[in-house]
Amino acid sequence: MNEIYLYAPAKINLTLDIISKRPDGYHNISSVMQTISLSDSIKIEKTRLPGVKILSNINWLAKDENNLVYRIASDLINEYNLDFGVRIKLFKRIPIGAGLAGGSADCAATLKGMIELFDLRISTCKAYKICERYGADVPFCFMGGTALAKGIGNILHRLPNHPKTYVLLAKPKFSLSTEKIYKMIKAKDMRLSDPKKIINAIKFKNRKAIAANFHNTFESIVTSSHPIIAQIKETMIKNGGLGACMSGSGPTVFGYYDNFEDAKKTASLIENTFPPTKTYFAKTL
């Protein structure tokens, strides 16, 4: 095998609670995470040239150590003394800086691809440990599906399969720094999380109950300076959405829909009402 193709699906946070600040500066969280069908595409090719070369449809995307795909591929080549370099073609569909873990998804997919392409003897447990080096969302992106994430996002508990649901995503023009948003968290924003309601709703395939229990601690913090978040949520809910919430540290808002036509009509309304917000369609995986 000389090349491999992979998809790197985005994630949304159905719940996200900040539990406490850690001595190392990170935060303990509790979050129900869900993989969706919006995804990037990755092609990894063996080359006789040493090192890693990144190609992308996004001209300004970092193609060096500032890109997680470059870093993990380069580290694996060095750690396992591989005799080949790699050329990686990365086609981005997941918006960048959107709270959808696009970079983490690409990193996790690259790890999967490198393991298969080079037949690396890496156990699943070892793979998760590798993922932890590159960011809090990378372990979940490696796992995929539906999971409760704790710790800094690295302690994962697989949940029952989520019922298939239409998802509308709306990404305002601006992007947000996860690091800066975390720094804005105050003690009053932190609370003990009880995800039982949404987990039970997932177990019983109750889409309305799942949507009724969406929650994101960051949402009120981001909305205070970016009221468009609340406005997009309201638009989704008033136009057929079962529920809506901001994902991650934002600014993307997602809404659940029973049928695609309602999602399609809402997408058009959002893009016309809040330009230049961009919308995307997906399904839960």
| Catalytic annotation, residues | 11, 137
**DSSP state at residue 98:** S
Amino acid at 166: Y
Task: Provide the CA 126 distance to its chain's centre, in angstroms.
Answer: 22
The interaxial angle of helices 228-238 and 217-225, nearest 10 deg, is: 120
Determine which helix (DSSP H) or strand (DSSP E) holds 68, and give its type and residue range: helix 68-79
Per DSSP, what are the bridge partners of residue 132? none
- Inter-CA distances, 44 with 91, 101, 116, 268, Å: 12, 20, 11, 36
Rounded to whole angstroms, the Cα distance separating 280 from 169 reads 5
H-type helices in 118-255, by residue range? Answer: 124-132, 138-143, 178-183, 196-203, 207-212, 217-225, 228-238
Rounded to whole angstroms, the Cα distance separating 240 from 152 reads 34
